[in-house]
Amino acid sequence: MRTIDPALEAHLAGDATTVCHAWRVTRRDGRVLGFSEHDRDLSFAGTQFQAASGFSASETEEQTGLPAASSEVAGGFASEAITEDDLSRGRYDGARVEVFLVNWADPAQHLLLRVQEIGEVTRDAGQFRAELRSFAHRLGQPQGRIYNRRCDAVLGDGRCGVDLTQGQYLTEAHVASAVDATRLVLSGATGFGEGFFRHGFLTFLTGPNTGERADIDAHADADGRTEITLWLPLARPPDEGDRVLLTAGCDKAFSTCRAKFGNGLNFQGFPHMPGSDFAYSYADGETVHDGRPLFP
């Protein structure tokens, strides 16, 4: 049961109300921003909430029990605090959003309605729309480990153990041309073998995308040049000659771990796990059952 401040409760019970919604956004980098749908700035709960932010919210669908509530917030890039560049760089991904109901005539009367986080964000023609998800959605995320033939570590992390700073796993190159927002032609990255950088990532060292990291979907070599296909389109087209750093990728297979990275002893999967055909098979008079390993 939600506890409401007596003064706000009395105001809501009156014949006319002066309430609006306000949002406090805490980004993962720690920056806190406040927005409201009122026509003047409001200050409460230790935060300044900007007026005329262009924010508008949809209705929230809530159910009893554990189903995650969801809603949407939409707006334009009129506020200096939220820019299209920040959204494209993912600075609001997973941000914490506190939704308040506040009496704009007396901001001391306010109520925290819910706490959510930003999920999927879409942008179009100077407008953005962000999904607000209840934290209960995290209960649907995989927890712990599962038996799987492929590795469940992240290449280069503590469980993997591969040192990606070694020269054989990365190289610098230059942008020769951009075919479209997801395909780049690079020079200076030959000699690694086709597919070497697939599932890896590309980091921009210079140009309009400096510091941005993009996941690589495909890697092909042709005519002395390298073509890289990215998983997601770039927010800004790169300039010819931009320096990039390519880092090797891993498809999580045991054969790749052993041959490409020499890390088979630290493989974090179960490559010799019997398949479903073996698991559901039955003993017969033809098969030899002498206790030998299934894999040499």
pLDDT score of 64: 47
What is the torsion angle, in degrees rounded to the nearest 10, for the CA atoms of residue 153, residue 155, residue 161 and residue 167?
A: 170
Render pLDDT for 172-222 as a digit per residue (tens, 0 to 9): 999 999 999 899 999 988 888 889 999 999 999 999 999 889 999 999 987
CA atoms within 13 A on the CB side of 62: 10
Residue 257: predicted pLDDT? 95
Rounded CA separation 71/55 (Å): 13
- Residue 293 token pair: 């390993």
pLDDT in tens, 247-296: 999 999 999 999 999 999 999 999 888 777 777 777 777 777 777 766 65
Residue 123: which pLDDT band, with cuts at 50, 70 and 90? confident
**247 strand-pairing partners:** 170, 201
The phi-psi region of residue 21 (left if phi > 0; otherwise alpha if psi is between -120 and 50; otherwise beta) is: beta
pLDDT at 26 (0 to 100): 92
pLDDT beyond 70 at 75: no
Does residue 123 or residue 237 have the better pLDDT?
A: 237
Residue 245 pLDDT = 96
| pLDDT reported for residue 286 | 75
The full set of domains in the chain, from first to last, is 6-138 (2.30.110), 167-247 (2.40.30.290)
For a pLDDT cut of 70, what percent of the chain falls above it? 87
* Residue 70 scores a pLDDT above 70: no
